[in-house]
Chain A
Amino acid sequence: MLRHEVVVVGAGLAGQRAALAAVEAGRDVAIVTKLHPLRSHSGAAQGGINAAIGPNDSIDAHAYDTVKGSDYLGDQDAIEYFCREAGPTVIEMEHFGTIFTRADDGTLAQRPFGGAGFPRTVYAADRTGLALLQGLWERLGSERFTLYEEWELARIVVRDGRAQGIVALNRRTGELQGVQAKAVIIATGGAGRIYGRTTNAHSCTGDGMAAAYRAGAYLKDMEFVQFHPTALLEGGILVTEGARGEGGILKNAKGERFMSKYAPNVLELASRDVVARAITTEILEGRGFTGPYGPYVHLELMHLGRERIESRLQEICDLCRSFAGMDPVTSPIPISPAQHYMMGGVGTNIPGATNVPGLYAAGEAACVSIHGANRLGGNSLMETLVFGKSAGIAASDYVVKSPNTSLTQGDLDAVTSTFRAWFERKDGEDPSALRTELQQTMDQYVNIFRNEADLAEGLRRVRAIKERFSRVRVVDQSKVFNLNLSDAIETEHMIDLAEVIIVGGYARTESRGAHFRTDYPKRDDAKWMKHTLAQCTSTGPVLSYSPVGYTRWEPKERVY
């Protein structure tokens, strides 16, 4: 049994920042990751990271924009903490070596972004996630910690009311390993691959969220799923909001700049849920383009000129040329919304602690909540670093005060026997096929516009898939790099999360932020100004609710 003081699961920005904080606090730290750290999905973030560092900006303005963006479901105390930390955080990242785009006077350049009343999004061309990931990995690389690379999380072990460690599959050898730890930090990102149409990488299967849920942690606000307005039509690859921040405009098939109808003040730079609904409405009402890959609208950049596009939006240029067969310098980009981010996640307080002692979470995998019902672009990259750090510090403090933990052979055997059943089954369900059906179900029934009937049908189907998963079969019996086994592990995680999302969405009879019910199209503060909490039981998720943290900003109607 391997033993460390702090185990971080996930090696993207949040996981690495948590590990750095714990190492700096003098702890024995291990990172368990199913991808090499530089391959984490943090690297796919494009547009930028928000911080109120400009001379005419203010922390309060950033906080207000975030509160409003959250459709007033965000916890205002957490948001204030977040916005206060943002400036020092971005400066720290620059000192670590991150290469940002600069203004002529040598300061960090900042661009406008959706839902922000001020251009406060610091950026590195349109590869900000990659730049930060490199900067942080370079900084972390000279510290002492243990990296378990290409290990997949199978279980979080909780006993005697606290986390004891994790059980993980070493993908390279096929061996199951127990890693005993006093504190476990979940930083495994989101679960976009629950959906068929998503900007997310294939690796985004919500492993940490699901494992934490099964280990007794509450999942919070899972029904709030963000659909990014602009993803390439074929394949759903992200086209950054930064394209709109640089001046890109949206047009329907009639050549109309339709955002003037939905957000008369800020047009394309309204918050993401507003823009995603606008595009979907245009399409549903027959004003979209049609084609063999589905309906779409146009994102036009041509008027920005070649020089600006190729310097500030270099990656987008490449993406369009490589994956959409067109050049954004000369042609409009065909786009439509796609699943992108999960506002919900493992419920934590500001320092990152969950309801299970010794279990922490940070980044997209967590829900503090600072994004509430809808996240502003540029806040997620900042979230990973601010709350990664606080979780690392909190976990380190906990470790110092806590007695030892223990993993047993029984903890490992439990997982081994599950896998053995999968291997030995003669006739069974194909995990790939189950995953595809799950994705189709979510795409069809749990999308941008929801209603009771759809959600009920979606839930029925997900539960049927869950039942069939109990007969899943892994055909490939090999040990080294068995992706068939990974398919099964990940699909199991995804089914659980899908169920929680739908149950939460079905219960919430209002529209708020990214959760829009056509049968309850209004926000209902009187009944629903509260967070959804989901607890895992043998009969499925059981819901309860918790109040929203309020400090200063009275909920108002949200108009852009």
Chain B
Amino acid sequence: MKIAYYPGCLAQESAKELDMATRWVCRTLGIELVEFPNFSCCGSGFIDEANEVLNIAINARNLAIAEKAGLDMLTICSTCQGMLNLAKVRMQDPVVKSRVDAALKPLGIEYKGTVQVKHLLEVLTKDVGLDAVKAKVRRPLHGMKVGAFYGCHLLRPADEMQSESGEEPRSFEDLLTAVGATPVDYRGRVMCCGFPILFVKPPTANTIAGRQILDAKAHGADAMATPCPLCHTSLDAYQNKAAKAVETPLNMPVFHLPQVVALAFGASPEELGLSRHLVRTDAAIAKVQPVARS
């Protein structure tokens, strides 16, 4: 399988470990990642707040790049996935399309609307399939209880994102089961991490993040895992703030989705950049039962 790799800004910068784990997983599964140095940032939802049409045009350009190469796009960030999908939906409105086309045409760019944008979660569960994923598991994560944390933009609005469900998805839990981990069911898994207001209204953002982590904890999670590096930032890098906001020590390791899968495929913590996390992940990894020797 060959796919246009849209890593998003953070995977190229402060969430490098996400990129490392993604490449590990794709290599194992024979997914060829084609890179495009001309992809721009997706706007992260913030540009959409400042200027909707500009945001659509920026992402129509991103979509057109992959489309021209005849490839679908792979995202590894719930927010990138959401923004690219949003552009696809908005471009179906003839008024919006004509404004955007007027800006793109002079640049020789035409977005035709044929490219599919898929998050790694979808590629693993649907395109590759859970059986194929299971087949590559060398080290099933038995004993590790993981609370999935989807990230809002992957799921909602469900009609625009064409997601499996706006509030009741199961694919990430199915993936966790396929790699041997025990998924933890808790309300917070489909809620917000607070990232969009992390700098804007920290006490509220930190409280929200803290509550989701507490919820996962209360339901027995040893770790959380997320398909969005922005959620990861809020839940991991800013977990100290979250703990303060909810006045409870949290100590909850947070993995990127491909890190969990790569660990099950046999990758070492070093290969996955786990030491870059602000919250140590060793305790969670220690929960994994050693593979029985025959």
Q: Do A and B come into direct contact in the complex, CB within 8 Å?
A: no
What residues make up the interface of A, taking CB atoms closer than 8 Å to B?
none
